[in-house]
Chains A and B, each alone.
Chain A
Amino acid sequence: MTDSPDSVPTTRPYAAAVGQYSSRPEPATLADILERVLDKGIIIAGDIRVNLLDIELLTIKIRLLIVSVDKAQEMGIDWWRNDPMLSTSAQGLVEENQQLRERLEALESGESGESGTSTESSTEEGKQERASD
Chain B
Amino acid sequence: MTESARYMYAISRNLDAEALAGCHGLAQGQLDVVQHRRLSAVVSTVDLSDYGEEALRRNLERLEWLEETARCHEAVVRTVADHGPVAPLRLATICLDDDAVRKRLDEWYFALDQILDRVAGRAEWSVKAIAPVEPERVPAESAVSAPAVSGAAYLERKRQQTQSKTEAADRAMAAAEKMHSALVDVSVASRRLPSQDPRLSGHQGSMVLNGAYLVDVDGQGRFEETYRSLEGGHPELLLDVRGPWPPYSFAMLEQG
Contact = CB atoms under 8 A, between A and B. Distances in A.
B244 A48 contact: no
B201 A29 contact: yes
Contacts of A3: none
A9 to B, nearest CB: 9
Interface string A24-36: 1010111111111
Nearest to B69: A37
A10 B52 CA distance: 38
Contacts of A29: 200-202
A41 B66 contact: no
Interface residues of B, number: 73
A84 B70 CA distance: 18
A103 to B, nearest CB: 13
Given A40-B252, A44-B89, A69 B199 contact: yes
B117 interface: yes
B87 interface: yes
B87 A55 contact: no
Interface string A42-70: 11101111100011011001110110011
A101 B201 contact: no
A97 B218 contact: no
B121 interface: yes
A131 interface: no
Contacts of B174: none
A58 B255 CA distance: 23
A88 B246 contact: no
Interface residues of A, number: 57
Interface stretch (B24-32, B90-98, B161-169): B90-98
A71 B245 CA distance: 34
Given A12-B121, A21-B244, A41-B88, A31 B249 contact: no
A131 B117 CA distance: 49
B91 A38 contact: yes
Interface stretch (B55-63, B135-143, B146-154): B55-63
What are the 4 closest A-B residue pairs judged by CB atoms, nearest first?
Answer: A84-B202, A31-B201, A36-B248, A40-B248
Interface of B: 5, 8, 11, 23, 48, 51-53, 56-57, 60-64, 66-68, 70-71, 73-75, 78-79, 81-85, 87-96, 100, 104, 108, 112, 115, 117-118, 120-121, 123, 126, 193, 196-197, 199-203, 216-219, 242, 244-246, 248-249, 251-253, 255
